[in-house]
Amino acid sequence: MPEPEDVADFTGEPDGFERLWTPHRMVYIQGERPADDAGAGCPFCAAPAKGDAEGLVVHRGEHCYVVMNLFPYNPGHVLVCPYRHVPLYVDLTDDETTEFTALTKAAIRALEAASAPMGFNLGMNQGAVAGAGVAAHLHQHVVPRWGGDSNFLPIVARTKALPMLLEDVRSRLAEHWPA
């Protein structure tokens, strides 16, 4: 059986591929998972306690708020969250449900005004088995979509190229938030 080649021998060798290095993703991949308990260990309890720019908060309502997704699928990917630490949609009060829905609609309007997407994905993953990264605190994704925004990178390279910084998108959405 032949000996495997040492990959160090290939450092700097051109192979026809360009690489987009995304070391910042390691924070998410290797990071601690949010606590199930309310408080500083939950990113959706911690965000509204910070200033808007630091917490990436786009808009604050009475019962719910809108925050940038720290690991967005597309520029403008926001999350609508209740302030209260509840895991399921059915756990919301009627007032929270009303505002949760109103903020989802307002997020769509702000994204339309700020960046003219061609469509949206809206969704909630309730429970870890359903794909919720933070299962203990309800949140709804609002993801703007454009024709051609998905390409070979996520499929082949498990990499997503994002053309705007989170704070730039947050500022733009806050500026275009419906009155």
Active site residues: 139
Q: Please name the residues in contact with 111: beta carbons below 8 A apart, sequence gap of 6 or more.
A: 76, 78, 117, 120, 142, 144, 173, 176
Please tell me the number of Cα atoms within 13 Å of 97 on its side-chain side.
Answer: 7
The first and second tokens of residue 168, run together, are 């730039």
Looking at the DSSP bridge assignments, the partners of residue 123 are 141
DSSP 105: H
What CA–CA distance (Å, rounded) separates 169 from 58?
A: 9
Q: Are 56 and 44 in contact (CB under 8 A)?
A: no
Q: Are strands 78-82 and 140-145 parallel, antiparallel or unpaired?
A: antiparallel
What CA–CA distance (Å, rounded) separates 108 from 143?
A: 9
Work out the burial of residue 59: count CB atoms within 10 Å of its CB; fewer than 13 is exposed, 13-18 middle, 19 or more buried: buried
